[in-house]
Structure 1
Amino acid sequence: MNQQQYPPQQPGAGGPQQPYGQPPFAPPPPKKAGAGKVIGLGCLGLVGLFVLVALIGAVAGGGSGSNDSKGADTTKASGSTLKGDKAADGSGGSHKKVDSEPKADKKVVFKVWGTAPAGALGPLNITYGSDSDNRDGAFKNGKFEATLPLDDDAMYFNVTAQLQGSGDIHCSVTADGKTKKAHAAGDYNICMAQLSPGLLGGWH
């Protein structure tokens, strides 16, 4: 029978000797860390992050709410103060003064009066107005009168009346309490009255 041969022992080596020709046993592989622990720690980290964000949001919301309430209180207080000031001054909205008489629009008055027989060219020729508004007038029953709105930008207001061969007439123009008058008699003479604005205001 074949006998299994063993290699000679080394001096100083202790312990059992493995059979000759067979490799030694490999050491067991190291244990891996449990995957469950890693997942658990990751979940705890996410939960902690959400809790932290929620706390920050709550703190920020509480601060702004308190500021808004303070602003509202300040507004209310100022409103009451304003009302109190109005009451002290006696200037309530129900006591507003209303002008009972509206201001009358200012007018310019033009007049011609006297005797003016019609001539070969017709009756008395009358024109009146301003530098930007000229009109014709009719002489009836020995007089003529017309009015126009007072334009402060006008350079002048005037009235002219030309006789037609004979007659004796007077004319006038009145604006803002000022009056200018003129006179004409005989032939084809012209009666002309004119008002102009002054450098310091008013008409003359």
Structure 2
Amino acid sequence: MSHQPYPQQPAPQQGWGAPPPQPPKKKGKGKIAGLGCLGVVVLLGIVSAVSGGGSDKSDDSKSAASASKQEKPAAGKGGSKSKADTKKDSDKKTVVFKVWGTAPAGALGSLDITYGSDSDNRKGKFANGKFEATMPVDKDAMYFSVTAQLQGSGDINCSVTIGGKTKKGHASGGYNICQTQLNSGLLGGWD
């Protein structure tokens, strides 16, 4: 009996019995600037120094002078705020609604007044040719408004004021309505 070698098997091909090929090794992506936290701090220091973050002595004296001006208390007794400063601060926190003019009484009275914000409406009474009311500014309010409807005849004006910003309206004759409102601005002011 002669001995015959086993026939060689061909190398397995991709498909059913072969293991998947190994993915290629990734090369050093992301290792270009492996600075770490300390490297970032050093890099930021260099950037600020190059862009003018350093200052000379004359700049320091100017900033110290302006800082001392800002730290001085307002004029008044004991360094407290003056009445004008206090009034300005309170004006920013208060809404003032006004209606004035001539409005003869009709069947429902002289005027039908409504004032307030988008979430708080109130009724007002017109007396002696004027109406005035205040309420605290709600920082979440979208607007503050006042409306006054004549009851047959008259000539009236109306206004809403917050922190020195005022909007006005006018109505005359018949059952016309004086209406005005201040809207909350996108950047926090009132328009």
State the distance in 2 between where 1:166 and 1:172 align: 20
Normalising to structure 2: TM-score of the pair? 0.53
1:150, distance to aligned residue in structure 2 (A): 1.0
Verify the 8 A CA contact 1:171 1:183 in the aligned structure 2. yes
2:111 corresponds in structure 1 to: 124
Q: In the alignment, which of 160, 164, 168 is matched to residue 173 of structure 1?
A: 160
Verify the 8 A CA contact 1:176 1:202 in the aligned structure 2. no
2:174 corresponds in structure 1 to: 187
Verify the 8 A CA contact 1:114 1:169 in the aligned structure 2. yes
1:128, distance to aligned residue in structure 2 (A): 0.6
State the distance in 2 between where 1:154 and 1:162 align: 24
Aligned residues: 108
Higher strand fraction (1 or 2)? 2
- 1:201 equivalent to 2:176? Answer no
1:176, distance to aligned residue in structure 2 (A): 2.1
1:147 corresponds in structure 2 to: 134
State the distance in 1 between where 2:107 and 2:135 align: 31
1:99, distance to aligned residue in structure 2 (A): 6.7
1:124, distance to aligned residue in structure 2 (A): 0.7
- 1:100 equivalent to 2:84? Answer no
Unaligned 5+ segments in structure 2 are: 1-72
Unaligned 5+ segments in structure 1 are: 1-96
Instruction: Please list the CA deviations of residues 62-82 of structure 1 after superposition, one character each: whole Å capped at 9, or x if unmatched.
Output: xxxxxxxxxxxxxxxxxxxxx
**Tell me, what secondary structure is at the counterpart of 1:174?**
strand
Higher helix fraction (1 or 2)? 1
2:147 corresponds in structure 1 to: 160
Moved more, 98-107 or 125-134: 98-107
Instruction: Please list the CA deviations of residues 83-138 of structure 1 after superposition, one character each: whole Å capped at 9, or x if unmatched.
Output: xxxxxxxxxxxxxx897239544110000000000112322111111011111111
Q: Which amino acid aligns with 1:153?
A: D
Moved more, 99-108 or 175-184: 99-108
Q: Which amino acid aligns with 1:114?
A: G
State the distance in 2 between where 1:150 and 1:99 align: 28
* C-alpha spacing 1:99/1:152, structure 2 compared with 1 (3 Å): farther
State the distance in 1 between where 2:134 and 2:159 align: 12
2:124 corresponds in structure 1 to: 137
User: RMSD between aligned alpha carbons?
Assistant: 1.8
Which structure has the larger Rg over C-alpha atoms?
A: 1
Normalising to structure 1: TM-score of the pair? 0.50
